[in-house]
Amino acid sequence: GEDQGQNPYTELLVLEAHRDIVRFLVRLDDFRFASAGDDGIIVVWNAQTGEKLLELRGHTQKITAVIAFPPLDSCEASSQLLLTASADRTVGVWDCDTGRQIQRVTCFQSTVKCLTVLQRLDIWLSGGSDLGVWNRKLDLLCKTSHLSDTGISALVEIPGNCVAAAVGRELIIFRLVTPTEELPEWDIIEVKRLLDHQDNILSLANINDTGFVTGSHVGELLIWDALDWTVQACERTF
């Protein structure tokens, strides 16, 4: 119609494999990416040709989080892994080269809504009604107590062995305690709760080494100092 703005973009390829909404796109390497969404299927694509390489099936409900877990050493011969969380309360670990599900974690009490990898420590974190810390062998190293029925909606790594977690309209800072000779066990400690948002936090992303940004349901954008966790800038559009 006359009121519709002209689309300045023309698609190069239309990639068809999913039967429902696609919510996640994850880069695997220079040549491959993965897509996932509400049909519970993960598809690995050739990023240059658009060819479907693999179709990963194993979840029974929609995908709620996807993240790549590369080898600790880029020269290592081990495969690129893909972690996928689902509303079926499981996390699947997949070999991106073969499409084989290596393992399936089923001990969650609620849906895992977000995943993040701390590659320098070779661990990954799961966020739901609690925060769990896992190693590459899928051993649970430690976890928090139940946080809320809302659960963690987003996670991001920040300096000082810390992570920021969005829980409703709160931003909770956790610090990871790595094993030492005196204390051989992993631990995770809640450091601070920040209540600067007026509505639930929906997005959380790093800007650089010293800052990150949060966005809420009502259109707030807050830019944070990643070292002292203070608000550096605020934009409210409501």
pLDDT per residue as tens digits for the range 141-159: 999 988 887 889 999 999 9
The answer for residues whose C-beta is within 8 angstroms of residue 14's C-beta and 6 or more apart is: none
> Residue 202's pLDDT band (boundaries 50, 70, 90)?
very high
pLDDT tens track for 83-98: 999 999 999 999 999 9
Amino acid (one-letter) located at 111: T
pLDDT of residue 77: 55
pLDDT of residue 197: 92
Above pLDDT 90, what percent of the chain?
78
Pick from 157, 148, 213, 149: nearest CA to 188: 157
Element (H, E) at 132: strand 131-135
pLDDT tens track for 32-77: 999 999 999 999 999 999 999 999 999 999 999 999 998 876 555 5
> Residue 238's pLDDT band (boundaries 50, 70, 90)?
low
pLDDT of residue 70: 87
The answer for residues whose C-beta is within 8 angstroms of residue 204's C-beta and 6 or more apart is: 154, 155, 156, 164, 166, 171, 212, 213, 214, 215
pLDDT tens track for 10-28: 778 889 999 999 999 999 9
Task: Give the tokens for residue 223.
Answer: 């830019």
Residue 203 has pLDDT above 80, yes or no: yes
